[in-house]
Amino acid sequence: MNQGDLIEKVAVSASITKAEAERAINAFKGHVTDSLRKGNKVTLVGFGTFGVSHRKARRGFDPYNGETIKIPAAKAVRFAAGKQLKEAVNKRKK
C-alpha cells in the first residue's frame, strides 16, 4: 500500500473527501516528525511507538577496497509494534 492507497482507504472509512484524508495524514506525519526531531516518543496505544535511537560513531570495513572507514554517529528512527498490532498481524486465517 502506498500513500495514495492509504488516503483512499481513510477517506472511505471516515466518510470524508480524499483531500481531507490527505490533509489529516500529512498532519499526522508532520506532528510525528516534529516530536521525533525534538527527541520525544510518539505512542499510539495498541498500535506502536515511534522513537529515536542514537548510534555511536564506529569503525566499519569498506568491502570494495578493504580499508577501514569511520562511520559517524547518527540518529535512527525506530518503531516498536504494540501488542494489538502484533496479534492482528500474527492472527491465522481459518
Contact 60, 52 (CB under 8 A): no
CA dihedral over 35, 37, 41, 46, signed as positive or negative = positive
Residue the block writes with cell 528512527: 77
Q: Give the CA angle between residues 35, 14, 4 to the nearest 5°.
A: 70
Q: Where are the domains of the chain?
A: 1-39, 41-94
Class of domain 41-94: few secondary structures
Q: What does each of the 94 residues of the chain score in pLDDT, given as a tens digit?
A: 999 999 999 999 999 999 999 999 999 999 999 999 999 999 999 999 999 999 999 999 999 998 999 999 999 999 999 999 999 999 876 6
* pTM, to two decimals: 0.78
Residue 92 DSSP label: P
